[in-house]
Structure formats: C-alpha cells, structure tokens
Chain A
Amino acid sequence: MTDVSVFQAVTDSAPAAQVARPRLQVVGTALASAAAFMGFLGMIGLYIAYRQDVRATGATWLPDGVVIPLTQPNMMLATWSLSGVVVIWALFAMKNDDRANTFIAIGFVMVLGFAYIAQTGYLLSLMDMPLFPTGGEALDVLNRPPLFYGIIGTHIVMTLVAMGYLAAMGLRAVGGQYNAKDLEGLYGAAFFWFTTYAAYLVMWYVIYITK
C-alpha cells in the first residue's frame, strides 16, 4: 500500500467535518448591538421631546444652579475616540498573530473604559443634581432628573458590558482560541464597543452640548 492509498483510506473512513458557520457571533452581536442602540435612542427621543415641552412653557430645562460643564464631556469624547483607535490596534495585532500587542491594546482599552466611568462620576458630582430627593424638598418634576440619569446610567451599563465582552474575547485570543484567520469573537466585541461609542456620540450632542 502506497503512502497515498493509506492517506486515502484514513480520510475516507473519517467522518465529515462539521460545516463551518462563519460570522455567527458577529451577526448575533450586531443584532444585539442594534437592539441596545434602539433602546438607547428611545430614551434619547423621550428626553428631547420632554425637554422641548418644558422649554415651550418658557421654563429652563436644567434646574436652577445646575450647570453642565463642557470640559469633562469633551474629555470623555476624546477618551472614547482614543479607545476606538486602540480597539482597531487590537484587531490589527490579532490579524498579525501578535498576541502580545493584542493583550496590551485590550488592557489599554480597559483603562480607557474605567477612565470614562470615572470622568462621568466626576461630572455628576460637579453638577450636583440629586436623582431622588432626600430631605423633603419639593420634587423637581419639571426637569425630570430620572431622564438624565436613566440615559447616563444606561450608557455606563453598556460600557461595562462592552468592557466585559472585550476582556473575555481578549482572554480567549491570548489563550490561543483566536488567530489571524479566525478572530470572530474579537470582531464581535469590537462591534459592540463601537456601538457604545456611537451611543456616547449621540448622548454627548443631545445632553452635554445642546443641554
């Protein structure tokens, strides 16, 4: 029996390989991202409509004494923009089978994610707008702080999910599950990261810039 016939005998008797299902995770993540983004846009829609109503009565939208500074939101925008670049760096590194750079890039993204959350906390402390009144003072029903906090809180949750997703996929990549030819998980995590970035862009303009 020649080498070829031995090889053929083995391959003929072996079960057929499971048909590959490319992009399932990317497709699933894209759909989940679309759902999350639409939920976020729904809240933004409520915010714009309610703000328009309040302004139509001649009242100011933000409660007396509450100011939204621009420095922190702009810094957060810069943070998000930088994180986008770093996520692309992670993908590019993985595409070249460079696990060390992938690991460094994902670690950097985590730092930027935490930086965004910390900056949001600092911004909210500067604004000093109580969500729930505690001392029996009159409710600021007109200005609806829940709308404001609901949107920002949802975005922080999205950010945490995006960080967790990216960290999990990053660990898989570093562990050898992904390589230059198959980095579907990283693509999926990157997709959700950019969705969260897009949501921040909407929030930055609607809440922080046009106030």
Chain B
Amino acid sequence: MSNESAETGLFDRTIGTGDHKTVGRLWIFAGLGMGLVALVLRLVVALEQLDTGSVSMLEDVNELVQVWSMSRDLLIFGGVVSVLVGIATFIVPLQVGSSSIAFPRGAAAAFWMWEASVAMLIAAYIGNGGPGGGTRDFVVLWTFALGGMMISLVWALICIATTVIGARAPGMRLEMVPLTSWTFLVFALLGILTVPIQVGQLIISFLDVRGDYLSLVDTTSLASVMDTITLAPSIYWLAIPVLGIALDTISVHSGRPLRFHRSTMVATGLLTLTAFGADVTSFGRRIAGTDGVNATDFNNGLMVIALLLSVLPILGALALGGESLKSGRPAMGIPLGSALVSGLLLLAGSVVALLGTIEPIVGFIVNVNNSATGANDVPDLPDALTLNGTTFNAGITALIVTAALVAGLAGISHWGHKIWGRQMNQGLGSLALLSMAGGGALWAVGEILGGLGDQPALPVVADTDGIASVGNLLVLVGVAGLAAGVAMTLLMAVGAGLLKSGSETEPWTGSTLEWMTQSPPSYANFDRQPTVNSAYPLITMDDSASDIEVAAPVTEEVSV
C-alpha cells in the first residue's frame, strides 16, 4: 500500500494514486462526461431521424450509422457502466469494512486503460472507422478500442468482486454483505462471464477487417457485436446494481432496514441467473445460422423463459423495498425519489419486454403445429408482433439505461457526502431527476412506437410515417431531456467535488459500515478494523420492540 501522505502533487493525487476513493470519483466524473457526450450524439441521430426519408445534417447513411453506433458504445461502456463501476469502486470497500479495494493499483490501471481506450474509440470514429466506417485502419482501431474498453471494465469488475469475496471485515459472512455490495458482486460476476464473449467476437472482427474478409462496404454489420449485450434481455445486466442501490437507499431514507435481507439477496441473484441465461441465448440466437432452425427455436424458448422470469425478481425485490417504505418513516428527497423512480423504470422495462416475447411464442406454436401436421405454413403476423429487429428492443434498452442513470443519481446523492465531503445541490438534483425520468420515459415510448411502426433498429434511409414519425419526435424530446438531466448531475458533482460548494454537515446516516467513516473517509477508511456480526452492524436491534432504531454515527470499533 502506498503512503498517501507522501502524495502531494496533482499527479500523485490522480494519475499516481491507488486510493479507491479517488479512482471511484474519477470513474464517476468520466462516466457522466462520456454519458453526456453519448446522449448529445444520440440527439444528433434523433434530429436526423425526424425525416427518415433522407440524410440532411450528416453526409450519408453510413455516417448516420457511425454516429448512432458511437453514441451506443459510449453510452453503455463509456457512460452507464462507468458510473456504476465508479460508485462500486468508491463504496464497496467501505461497505464491506475494507481499508482498500483489492488490487488498488490494478483498479487504477483499469481506469486509465479505459480512458485511453475511449480516446482511441473516439479517434477511430473521427477517422471514419467503426460500424459504417470506410477506412480500414480506423475500423481496425475501433475493434481494438472497444475491446480495450471492455477489458478494462472487466478488470475493474474483478477488483470489485474480489473485494467483496475476499476482503470483508471479520465476522461479515456473505449473507451479511450490504445489498449494494452484493448486487455489485453479482453484477461483476455476470460482467466477467459475458463481456469477454464480446471481446472474443471483436478479436475475430479485427482479423476479418484486417484481412479484407469483411468488405468495407458492409461494415455496418459490425454493429451486431454490441447487440448481444445492449439489447433486452441481456441489458438486465445493468438492472442488478440498480436494485441494490435503490434498496439500500430506500432502507436508509425510510429509517427502516430491509426486513428480508436474505430474500432480497436471493431475488437479485435470480435476476442474475436470468440475465446470464438471456445473454447466452441472445448469443445463441445470433450465431444459430442458416442450419439452426431447431437451435433458434430452442434459443427463442429459453429467451422467453428468461424474460418471463426476469420480471419476478425485480417485482419481488421492489416489493421487499416497499415493505421498508410502508413500515418506516420515508424522508422524501433526491436519493429516495431517484431510487423509487429507478425501480419503477426497471419494472416498466421488464414488463414491456414481455411484449417482445409474443413473436417467438407465436413462432414456436406455428413450428410445433407445422411439425405435427406436416404443413409448412408461415402465417403473416400483424406488425405489432414482428418486433424483432425493430427499435422496440431499443425502447426496453432506453428504460433500463435510464433506470441505471437515475440509480447513478440516487447513489451519487445518497453517498454524496461520503464521496465529495459535501451535500449536493438539492434544487439541481430535483431538476436532474425530473429531467432524466421524463426524458428517459419519452425516449423509451418513442422507440417502442417506432418498433410498432416497423422502424428498423439500425438507422436507415427509408420513408416512415404515422406512429413511427411520432415515435421519432418523442425520441428527440426524450433524449434531450435525459441529456439535460445527466448534464445537471455532472454539474452537481463538479459543484460538490471540485468547487467545494454545499454544506459539510452530514445529512443522514445509515446502518451499514460506510456510515461509520468520516466524510470523506480517511485514506485507510477505518481507524480500526471493524468487526461485525449482522447485516446492519450500526443499528441497535431489539427483537421484542416493534420498531428498529438507527444508531447515531459510531466512531469506534463496532461489534454488535
């Protein structure tokens, strides 16, 4: 462990540090910044798509695909995942009672590798690379840069997961891990198991492009590499930490720890299983190929099961959070409001995703009927049922991504005092929440309407009318609102973190270990190694009493 007291210069305090708190802050700042850039780019696409019959602002349809693809790459792996990783890097070691994150230099290196990869990704797109690009070297650079971003995020996730698994405070068994840390553990494990599959595809794409096996006229097909992970239901990967942050926030701001801690852990764990199953079947659907009719049916069947099962754990976890709200004394503010909104958006996303199961279910029934009767009927399904390949899935993604961004706002404001040492601007926070929630909902509705209007997921130049045109307008307004919300969140972070504005008084306290540290925590986090024997070590719990009181902040060793 390095000696922080010797770190005096700006270089030492940023690039040279292995302190998880500084690295976490860097992730949050950079993630919000990249998320904002991504949404501005998406805004450009939305403006262009107001008239889908032609390309006016951009040069041609390939450039349109490039801007769209860049916004998607940067939003998922540049913005949302980075903000979540930032919150995890900061808060997980504190919650599990560790003096640092596991492999602190590795965690810092992951951030800087990610930064370099993001810079390369932007350079690749500027140089006419990426999906839709026409310059071979820059298309190759795109595969390299996106792979670098994914590897560095997996690296950061390994540090987070190792911290929860191996660096917990004495006495803290796995079932006592706070929900945020628990969900980040399963989020990390899922990321470690699925993101490298995309890296493998990128390696093949790299060689394909480099060796001219993929024509430069057809590089739009490269966008499919991201489909596996950015479309529902694989996108539920992002939903897992959303639940953890939301439930921890609800627990603190309702003054009532979750009564069914283990049940909630099981519910979020189940979501991980269904998300993993969905990811694998999504990959299977894409590679099933021409001879894979049976495989496609099989994968469709699994996908439907995964989608159906995904709703239940989300519903269950939120219901358990609702119990705390009902029996506690909720203090409505930015953190609690954001937590509730993120949970509702998540639920909306999973329910809407059920609509997407209709097509594979009907297809399966038709295939079974054909097999039984020896017929070869392929009935014409109504447009509302043929949603695969349309913007419908992007609507679900919009809901989940917005839920993750709002959960980021919840986390940043809930632990704001720990992260920045100051309270964040509440007025700006309210505006950010309204803007993000409204914008995200409109964006999702717009994409879903586009899907019902049979608008293809990949931007193309083709006339659309009616419901799809209304959808495109809603997407424009929605993305603008979401971008404004992210910009305000970034402003809040800059205000509290860099400009040092806001009160230094700790506004609330909770019952997990991070609340026994100073605000912001000292370099080693804890003056003494805490020892715990319950999931909420800072509370005084009287089984005979009907209520549970939250203890005052504790400054000494805690052993309940």
Contacts and interface: CB of A to CB of B under 8 A. Distances in A.
Chains A and B are bound partners: yes
Interface residues of A, number: 40
A35 interface: yes
Nearest to B194: A38
A42 B201 contact: yes
Contacts of A42: 196-201, 283
A31 B200 contact: no
B204 A131 contact: no
A43 B287 CA distance: 11
Give the interface SS of chain A, mostly helix, strand, loop or mixed: helix
B9 interface: no
A56 B290 contact: yes
Contact of B158 (A32, A141, A144): A32
Given A16-B529, A43-B203, 18 more contacts: A21-B102, A24-B103, A27-B162, A28-B106, A28-B162, A34-B192, A35-B154, A42-B198, A43-B200, A45-B283, A46-B201, A50-B287, A52-B292, A53-B289, A56-B289, A132-B210, A146-B208, A149-B207
Interface string A129-148: 00111000001010011110
Contacts of A23: 166
Contacts of B159: 28
Contacts of B158: 28, 31-32, 35
B203 A27 contact: no
B193 A35 contact: yes
Contacts, number: 119
A40 B199 CA distance: 9
B211 A146 contact: yes
B494 interface: no
Interface string B181-204: 000000011001111111111011
A45 B106 CA distance: 30
Interface string A109-121: 0000000000000
Nearest to B99: A18
Contacts of A154: 200, 203
Contacts of A146: 204, 207-208, 210-211, 213
Contacts of A16: 528-529
B196 A38 contact: yes
Given A24-B162, A35-B158, A36-B196, A139 B529 contact: no
Interface in B200-250: 200-201, 203-204, 206-208, 210-213
A36 B283 CA distance: 17
A38 B197 contact: yes
Nearest to A40: B200
A166 B189 CA distance: 25
B101 to A, nearest CB: 11
A152 B167 CA distance: 36
B288 interface: yes
Identify the 7 closest CB pairs spanning chains A and B, nearest first. Answer: A39-B196, A146-B207, A42-B197, A42-B200, A56-B291, A49-B287, A43-B200
A95 B513 CA distance: 37
A45 B280 CA distance: 11
Contacts of A53: 289-291
Nearest to A43: B200
Contact of A28 (B103, B195, B287): B103
A107 B19 CA distance: 37
Contacts of B188: 31
Contacts of A24: 102-103, 162, 166-167
B204 A43 contact: yes
Interface in B159-183: 159, 161-162, 165-167, 170
B162 A150 contact: no
A145 B291 CA distance: 21
A74 to B, nearest CB: 26
Interface of A: 16, 19, 21-24, 27-28, 31-32, 34-36, 38-43, 45-46, 49-50, 52-53, 55-57, 131-133, 139, 141, 144-147, 149-150, 154
Contacts of B207: 131, 146, 149-150
A189 B102 CA distance: 17
A28 B165 CA distance: 9
Contact of B212 (A22, A43, A132, A149): A132
A141 B529 CA distance: 61
15 contacts: A23-B166, A24-B167, A28-B162, A28-B166, A31-B189, A35-B192, A39-B197, A46-B200, A49-B292, A53-B291, A131-B211, A145-B211, A146-B204, A146-B207, A146-B213
Given A46-B201, A146-B204, A146-B211, A27 B165 contact: yes
A115 B166 CA distance: 36
A42 B192 CA distance: 13
A38 B190 CA distance: 11
Nearest to A140: B213
A19 B196 contact: no
B291 to A, nearest CB: 4
Contacts of A131: 207, 211
B204 A150 contact: yes
B76 to A, nearest CB: 18
Given A38-B197, A42-B201, A27 B213 contact: no
B161 A31 contact: yes
B200 A39 contact: yes
A78 to B, nearest CB: 27
Contact of B166 (A21, A36, A45, A55): A21
Interface string B26-47: 0000000000000000000000
A143 to B, nearest CB: 10
A141 B215 CA distance: 10
Contact of B287 (A45, A55, A57, A144): A45
Contact of A31 (B192, B287, B288): B192
A46 B196 contact: no
Contacts of A132: 210-212
A22 B166 CA distance: 7
Nearest to B286: A49
Contacts of B292: 49, 52
A34 to B, nearest CB: 6
Interface string B430-443: 00000000000000
Interface string B293-332: 0000000000000000000000000000000000000000
Contacts of A31: 158, 161-162, 188-189, 192
Contact of A49 (B103, B189, B288, B529): B288
A145 to B, nearest CB: 7
Given A27-B162, A49-B287, A139-B212, A34 B529 contact: no
